[in-house]
Structure 1
Amino acid sequence: MRGFLLLAFLLLLISVTNAQSLSGQIGSVKRGGQTRGVIILDIPEGLHVNSNRPNNEYAIPTTVKLYSKDAVVSNVSYPKGKTKKFGFSEKPISVYEGKTKFTFRVRVPAKFKGNSIRVHAVVRYQACNNEVCFPPTEKEITLNAKVI
């Protein structure tokens, strides 16, 4: 019986930490020019993730890291979180819910020779429900953009 309960808990933990989906887009960009990109973390109803500034020393903040060999990526803009009170914390915590968009800038060098660029994003977050927070996890995505 203990084994069954442990297995059920582990399956729940895996399903919650993988419930969020990640998508994104980068607009076409000219050589020597720049454009904006967006990463979208879709958080299912009943869950939230800590914002990048959760206002709680124990809450793990959401971070977005961007990498590219083809372009210069910069200025990740985090949305403002919603301040909410939960039973597991004495103070309100800043969180993200629903579709959460992180924007960034992409600049392509004038001497870039390819027809497209790739930007790799790693989003690290801690998912929670109204009673408990789950271990932090990461999701990754690679975005492509046409160079014109």
Structure 2
Amino acid sequence: MSAFASGVFLTLALAAPAGAQIDSPPKAVQSVRAELVRAGGGAELVLTVRLAEGFHVQANPASEKFLIPVVVAFEREDLAHLANVRYPDALEKRFGFSPKALRVYEGEFVIRVSFKSLPAPDGGRLKGILRYQACTDAACLPPAQEQFSASM
């Protein structure tokens, strides 16, 4: 075998296992379910978020300024209809990296958003984004977001 062919073979043999070792990060948010229902003259969005086992996200408001809380955001045209966002009560939980308990959400939690008028008139779709940073007891994933939509 020529030196060139040996070099190519060696490069390919070493590159294949190295590529196999690169894993994508685990999926912390398993599902985001959005349901939009009429409420008086307006509407209420019920956003149900399910986290994977072993993950938590920072509550809104977060315990510390440097922590990234869960945030629900909407497209500009839907903001005019927004009345308020009600984040759930948080769990107070201690972690080895923090001297005090932190406010977090785990498992499944529900965020309720009230609109003073219909945000998606005539059967249109309400579109939004759930922003969060998921963590385990040992490490945090990079900040992420999940898109959602709902219609009447």
TM-score computed with the length of structure 1 as normaliser: 0.77
Q: In the alignment, which residue of structure 2 is the partner of 1:23?
A: 33
Structure 2 residue 47 is the aligned partner of structure 1 residue 39: yes
- Structure 1 position 131, deviation (Å): 1.1
SS of 2:138's equivalent in the other structure is coil
Task: Determine whether 1:96 maps to 2:105.
Answer: yes
| Counterpart residue number, 2:143 | 136
Aligned partners of 2:62, 2:76: CA distance in 1, in Å? 28
Offset at residue 55 of structure 1 (A): 0.9
Match of 1:7, as an amino acid? I
How many residues of Structure 1 are paired with residues of Structure 2 in the alignment? Answer: 135
In the alignment, the residues of structure 2 paired with residue 68 and residue 20 of structure 1 have an alpha-carbon distance, to the nearest angstrom, of 27
Amino acid at match of 1:130: D
Tell which structure's C-alpha radius of gyration is larger: 2
1:85 to 2:105 alignment = no
Supply the RMSD in Å over aligned alpha carbons.
Answer: 2.6
Instruction: List gaps (5 residues or longer) in structure 2.
Output: 1-13
Q: CA deviation at 1:91?
A: 2.0
Alignment match, 1:55: 63
Kindly indicate whether structure 1 or structure 2 has the higher relative contact order, using CA contacts under 8 Å at least 6 residues apart: 1
Q: Displacement, 1:121?
A: 1.4
Question: Which structure has greater helix proportion?
Answer: 2
> What does residue 8 of structure 2 align with?
none
**Distance change >3 Å, CA 48–CA 28, structure 1 → 2:** same
Superposition TM-score, scaled by structure 2 size: 0.75
